[in-house]
Structure 1
Amino acid sequence: MERTTLLTSFQDFGLADPISRALKEENYHTPTPIQAQTIPIALTGRDVVGIAQTGTGKTAAFALPILHRILENRTRPQPKSCRVLVLSPTRELSGQILDSFNAYGRHIRLTSALAIGGVPMGRQVRSVMQGIEVMVATPGRLLDLVQSNGLKLNQVEFLVLDEADRMLDMGFINDIRKVVAKLPIKRQTLFFSATMPKDIAELAESMLRDPARVAVTPVASTVERITQRILQVDFAAKPAILAQLLKQEPVDRALIFTRTKHGADKVVKGLAKVGIRADAIHGNKSQNNRERALAAFRSGEIRTLVATDIAARGIDVDGISHVVNYDLPNVPETYVHRIGRTARAGAEGVAISLIAGAEEMGYLRDIERLIRIALPREDRRTPGSRDAAPAPAQHRGGRSAPRAHTVRSNDAGQPSKGPRRRRRGGGNNAPPQPNRHEGPRPAQQGGKSQAGHSEGIQGVAFLHRESRPNNQSNRSHRPQR
């Protein structure tokens, strides 16, 4: 890792005056650790590999030096081209990254565009017709634009890959390779990932030239301010117990995680029957529906949002008091990612997991091994019950799935056939399959373990992510996205 003298004020970076003014207006004063490490290196034009979670401020860590370097050599973009290309795994995260670029570049008349699935492509084609400076995109829609001759990549000077490990999870790695093959060899590349499994390390090595390596966050730790609880329940009792929790707990906002899109819709319908208003966000929802649900959640119009892991990636909402794992995740790191949605910005938070059946108990053991904490359990099962939950049969440990086992269409789970021998290799661990532009193509890396390391980079799991509310001028002192 790079050893540099860390700067303690944004003024120390020597950023261009229009950018410094925007930061003052955003009320940003003190850089976060990832910003303090990354910005000085990126300003020199060197490639960077950063290991950092969502919420550590990495968006500003790459956006600020890129904007400064654009201003140093301000040229008019050629038609159908962009100078900066940022790839991110989801629509929501892409939109938030673009918002950050526009906020920091508000005084430089930045030209920018968003290319995501779920919305008509025609408008996106028109937005890049005259050429733009910054393009933020999901890989699927970006390739659509390129293949339809709506966008040319031969003028890209800066490439950013954000949340590379999640893009691997979602089956985007081949799309990324196709995109990179179309880029100029001479460019600056900034590569960020929360973890560094073998596949991601190999991808980074193939894309970057003599990169500086920066990292923040201890391995596999969870936030002390989160109160974590485990409820052992009968599978059939999960809907009733969830409703009971939402009525009895002091909930400001609750984020409920399910393993499948079908499961998310089912939870919303079940809560509606007992008078609890909720909405779901997942890959089968249109972009407009997802944005309306997020807006209602942010405003407090609804206090309960049900989400799959892929759709939740990039949700940037303050004030989430409770995270409930309706289905326990089969990848231990995902548990850390999920519960990090609460207890942000110094607040307290509660994470409750409903566990039914031997398979989810196995997932729990993997989680406890990762975070090195024995979580407190409360047994609410019917006396004498040993309910084998009909949860989707997924193996623990791997991040990708063989093609033959990838769950498609509406994520419907398959009944469990009872306790399974635990497997550490790959398996049917692919995330739910949303439509082409948001989510995974069939994963190509089946059977690969995520435990690999490259050149001393260790796997790092999520901590919490502090965020700032959208559209507010009085923001946190540290840019978080």
Structure 2
Amino acid sequence: MSFDALGLTPELLRAVADQGYTEPTPVQREAIPLVLDGRDILAGAQTGTGKTAAFVLPILQLLNAERTPGWKANGAPEPVAGSNVGAFGPGGATGPGPRRDPRPIPHSPIRVLILTPTRELCLQVEESVRTYGAHRRIRSVAIYGGVGYEPQIRALRAGPGIVVATPGRLLDHIEQRHIDLSKLEILVLDEADRMLDMGFIRDIRKVMALLPRERQTLLFSATFSDEIRQLANGILRDPAMVQVTPRNTETALVAQIVHPVDRERKRELLSELIRTGRVEQALVFTRTKHGANRLAEQLGKDGIGAAAIHGNKSQGQRVRALDDFKAGRVKILVATEVASRGLDIEDLPHVVNFELPMVPEDYVHRIGRTGRAEKTGDAISLVCVDEAPLLREIEKLVGHAIPIQMIPGFEPDRSIRAEPIRQRSAGPRFQNPARGVGPRPIPVGHRGGAAAHRDRGPVITNHGPIRQSFDGPDRSQGPRRDGPRPGAPGSDINRGGGIPGPRRRPNSGGPRPGQHGQRRAAPA
């Protein structure tokens, strides 16, 4: 099937052709016609499946360029008479934040709102809107934290038809009467599972309460957890289901391998893999922001160019680190799970799990950063005895054992006992794993074969002795996930429901203008 068969306009087909695309991906084939028909959608699509174009292209078509808010025939913003009383009544909101502007908003209300969990994904989606809308006169703006308010206020006053935003900064602008959502036509929640993981549920509730009941809603999520289904039941109306990839599956193009190593020798082993050429350019995952900083510094002392990217970095620092990585000025980009969402890196040959994730599904998301666009990639995990329970849960999730390869000189010391993994930055989602409560049981899939790793020495697939070294006294079980975390979505989320409670927003950027004192750390 070609893009022509999807019913897109010549302008959009031209923009797609400009990017070199000739055939739609599975999620695009299924979602685009449904969006054009005005259906609500619940889509399961992981990063790298083409999901952004699956909603951006039909949205651009649904927005008639001649009637886009804020556009006159000459392209100048068109003032709209009347005053916007704001999201919280005529008085607006009080407290620290951007300057409250008493003037009426001089443009029509926003027609499309796309919510994303991170700054990087926000910028990436807005760039896609501009790329595919190159031959249509539709304005868009990215609204996210970590940068100043005034440029965003000016962009909003210019009259964008499409706003791509992170929830926290969006609510700041709503409270200060810079955005009017009363006439919204289309809402998109992109990577909704990650937004819930980051604790944005209260912000999502507040945004939902401001939207008209009659609208089209598109929800995209990498996983269909119970929380996501509850959220979907509250905000979607007779949705069409789009599931293009079986849940929690890893691509066959990614060769997976586990290198057992003592916890104190992980950095030494990683440096050895890089120096010997087994790992070239790589995205390396740690669990915490502090761990990412420490690893990048240690690699630098080893003479290896590395940069860290996480939620405590400013937007400028994150952009510079990513640019240096893409340009090859640094070989290693060390990232936390949340910060990696929205990173657009082509031809990434290696993903390294310096530390296994506490949530098995995140392993699939991590390794999905490589092996894209029909190209092969490697996913390497450095696993110590503490992480044996996490490895078992990952293997249950993906349905097969991951091949193990010992690196000569780095064999684990069998006398080292497992210690509890302390996830200090995990937030309220996780209980203290030191209490010995294991992860929530996950159905075991069929035990199929793993993708064959490239020829890098003998790979041991009979894991007996090696796995026995991991399977000692199980004093360190994984995190406990025994029920909804605080703020989990429930039936109180509805189309146009009330605003629950005061907002406690995760920090999606730096402090707001005029704010003083210590804020809690931003999510990684």
TM-score by length of 1: 0.81
Map 1:255-404 onto structure 2 (within 5 A): 255-358=283-386, 360-379=387-406, 380-389=410-419, 391-393=421-423, 400-401=429-430
Q: CA 1:52–1:65 in 2, change beyond 3 Å: closer, same or farther? A: same
1:420 correspondence with 2:507: no
2:198 alignment partner, one of 170, 173, 176: 170
**CA-CA distance at 1:264 after TM superposition:** 0.2
**Matches of 1:130 and 1:343 in 2, distance apart?**
40
1:112 correspondence with 2:105: no
Query: Which string of whole-angstrom CA distances, capped at 9 and with x for unpartnered residues, describes residues 291-332 of structure 1?
Result: 011111111111110000000011110121111111111111
**Matches of 2:425 and 2:125 in 1, distance apart?**
33
Q: Which structure carries more relative contact order (alpha carbon 8 Å, separation 6+)?
A: 1
1:436 correspondence with 2:507: yes
Q: CA 1:25–1:251 in 2, change beyond 3 Å: closer, same or farther? A: same
Comparing 55-64 with 281-290, greater Cα deviation is found at 55-64
CA RMSD of aligned residues (A): 2.8
**CA-CA distance at 1:276 after TM superposition:** 0.4
Larger Rg: 2
Q: CA 1:23–1:399 in 2, change beyond 3 Å: closer, same or farther? A: farther
**Matches of 1:59 and 1:148 in 2, distance apart?**
29
Give the match's secondary structure for 2:161: strand
Give the match's secondary structure for 1:210: coil
**CA-CA distance at 1:375 after TM superposition:** 1.4
Give the match's secondary structure for 1:377: coil
1:70 alignment partner, one of 52, 57, 63: 63
**Matches of 1:347 and 1:168 in 2, distance apart?**
31
Q: CA 1:115–1:93 in 2, change beyond 3 Å: closer, same or farther? A: same
Map 1:183-202 onto structure 2 (within 5 A): 183-202=211-230
Query: Which string of whole-angstrom CA distances, capped at 9 and with x for unpartnered residues, describes residues 111-138 of structure 1?
Result: 1111011111121111101321010001
Give the match's secondary structure for 1:378: coil
Gaps of 5+ in 2: 71-79, 81-105, 435-472, 487-504, 511-518
1:43 correspondence with 2:36: yes
Query: Which string of whole-angstrom CA distances, capped at 9 and with x for unpartnered residues, describes residues 247-288 of structure 1?
Result: 113444201000000000000111011100100000000000
**Matches of 1:10 and 1:291 in 2, distance apart?**
33
Give the match's secondary structure for 2:297: helix
1:133 correspondence with 2:161: yes
Give the match's secondary structure for 1:323: strand
**Matches of 1:269 and 1:421 in 2, distance apart?**
30
**CA-CA distance at 1:393 after TM superposition:** 4.5
**CA-CA distance at 1:378 after TM superposition:** 3.5
Query: Which string of whole-angstrom CA distances, capped at 9 and with x for unpartnered residues, describes residues 88-120 of structure 1?
Result: 111111111111111111111221111011111
Q: CA 1:16–1:306 in 2, change beyond 3 Å: closer, same or farther? A: same
> 2:114 matched to which residue of 1?
86
Query: Which string of whole-angstrom CA distances, capped at 9 and with x for unpartnered residues, describes residues 345-386 of structure 1?
Result: 22221111111233x100000001111111122353454431
Q: CA 1:435–1:273 in 2, change beyond 3 Å: closer, same or farther? A: farther
**CA-CA distance at 1:428 after TM superposition:** 12
> 2:256 matched to which residue of 1?
228
Q: CA 1:16–1:382 in 2, change beyond 3 Å: closer, same or farther? A: closer
Kept after mapping to 2: 8 A contact 1:268/1:279: yes
2:6 alignment partner, one of 5, 13, 29: 13
Kept after mapping to 2: 8 A contact 1:395/1:423: no
Query: Which string of whole-angstrom CA distances, capped at 9 and with x for unpartnered residues, describes residues 431-450 of structure 1?
Result: xxx961159x99xxxxxxxx
Give the match's secondary structure for 1:86: strand
**CA-CA distance at 1:192 after TM superposition:** 0.7
TM-score by length of 2: 0.75
Kept after mapping to 1: 8 A contact 2:117/2:194: yes
- Match for 2:44: what amino acid? I
